[in-house]
Amino acid sequence: MSGASGIPIAVGLLKEMKKRPDWETHLVITNGAQKTIEQETSLSGMEIEALATKCYSLNDIGASIASGTFRTEGMVVVPCSMKTVSGIANGFSQNLLLRAADVTIKEGRKLVLVARETPLSPIHLGNMLTLARHGVRILPPMLTYYNKPASIDDMTRHIVGKITDAFQIETTGFQRWM
């Protein structure tokens, strides 16, 4: 989790994954995300960490997820700030989240960035294009109306469904276009 708006999406994803005992989630929270957690939810950082299988300190660059030898199905950065997009696009692995993303790309694993900012500058767009060309899935949390959301929770669930789709996981209540 990094410091963009969209903490409820990360919480929704962790809750969805917690229902699946055959999946592990390994969580890193940036300092920016700690700030947005305070603004966007009534949950504490510790309560959010309790939803994950394992948590790591941002500075723990020797953690298991910093190595390609630690096997994963991939990584989701949700929400993903433009600073973190830039760090990943430029291979600037200055904290554990950035290093884990760098490892995910170098190992050819799935990397999903729920990148959020508006409006987007040419710098933001350029970094995202670079990443998309390297096979990274850029998944901005954009509003959808065709699924007739009745609440913000419905919109959040829709984005969570889009994220889990990348891993062939079916999110409860995700409405597909028929």
Ligand X SMILES: Cc1cc2nc3c(=O)[nH]c(=O)nc-3n(C[C@H](O)[C@H](O)[C@H](O)COP(=O)(O)O)c2cc1C
Tokens of 70: 């630690």
**Residue 72 CB burial class (10 angstroms; 0-12, 13-18, ≥19):** middle
Let me know: does 130 contact 123? Beta carbons within 8 Å: no
Residue 84 found at the interface with ligand X (CB under 6 A):
yes
Contact mark string toward ligand X, 47..76, x via CB under 6 A: ------------------------------
Helices 96-106 & 82-89 angle (0-180, nearest 10): 50
CA triple 140-141-144, angle to 5 deg: 115
Segment near ligand X (CB under 6 A), from 10-18, 31-39, 99-107, 133-141?
31-39
What is the C-alpha to C-alpha distance for residues 12 and 106, in angstroms, rounded to an integer?
A: 28
Nearer to ligand X, 39 or 69 (CB): 39
* 92-121 positions binding ligand X, by CB under 6 A: 116-117
3-state DSSP assignment of residue 80 = strand
* Residue 2: CB minimum distance to ligand X, A: 4
Contacting residue, 36, 104, 164, 171, with ligand X by CB under 6 A: 36
Residue 169 found at the interface with ligand X (CB under 6 A):
no
What is the C-alpha to C-alpha distance for residues 111 and 136, in angstroms, rounded to an integer?
A: 5
* Residue 156: CB minimum distance to ligand X, A: 15
Residue 41 found at the interface with ligand X (CB under 6 A):
no
- Count of residues engaged in binding ligand X, rule: CB under 6 A: 16
What is the C-alpha to C-alpha distance for residues 159 and 28, in angstroms, rounded to an integer?
A: 20
Nearer to ligand X, 36 or 169 (CB): 36
Nearer to ligand X, 4 or 75 (CB): 4
Residues that bind ligand X in the complex, under the rule CB under 6 A: 2-5, 30, 32-33, 35-36, 39, 81-84, 116-117
